[in-house]
């Protein structure tokens, strides 16, 4: 039976390239991600503040699979190919997979 996992990726645009980064991410990267078997949703958040991660983005990708390993391997294998080209507007030195975790049941306030 498939489990639900969250893959978290930190990414950052090159200085002065946030608009181009956003266009690449929204128009190209997300559709490419969603084409990978097992990836069922993608959402991006901007990190607020001036700390080490200020100005960075966190991507949360929901994966439904028996094992997250093959999905991560497929993503990594596609990166930099026609199936998932890289953008020159992404600061690759500050872009990396942070973690992949098995999602626990969602609890809402008042439950």
pLDDT (0 to 100) of residue 100: 67
Residue 96 included in any domain = no
> Does residue 43 form part of some domain?
yes
Q: Which domain holds residue 86?
A: 14-52+65-91
Residue 108 lies in a domain: no
Pick the range with the lowest mean pLDDT from 27-41, 47-61, 73-87: 47-61
Checking if the pLDDT of 55 tops 90, the result is no
Q: What's the angle, vertex CA 58, arms to CA 53 and CA 62, rounded to 5?
A: 155
- Residue 21, in any domain of the structure: yes
Q: Which residue has the higher pLDDT, 97 or 69?
A: 69
Residue 44 lies in a domain: yes
Number of domains in the chain: 1
Looking at residue 94, its pLDDT comes to: 67
Q: 47 with 54: CB under 8 angstroms?
A: yes
Whole-number pLDDT of residue 4 = 87
Q: The whole model's pTM is what?
A: 0.81
Q: What is the pLDDT of residue 80?
A: 92
Q: Identify whether 82 is part of a domain.
A: yes
């Amino acid at each position: 039976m498939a489990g639900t996992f969250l893959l978290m990726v930190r990414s950052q645009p090159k200085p002065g390239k946030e608009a181009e980064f956003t266009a690449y991410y929204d128009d190209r990267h997300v559709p490419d991600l969603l084409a990978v078997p097992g990836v069922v949703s993608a959402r991006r958040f901007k990190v607020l503040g001036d700390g080490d991660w200020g100005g960075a983005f966190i991507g949360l990708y929901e994966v439904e699979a028996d094992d997250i390993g093959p999905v991560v391997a497929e993503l990594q294998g596609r990166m930099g190919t026609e199936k998932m080209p890289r953008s020159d507007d992404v600061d690759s030195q500050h872009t990396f997979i942070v973690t992949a975790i098995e999602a626990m049941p969602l609890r809402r306030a008042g439950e």
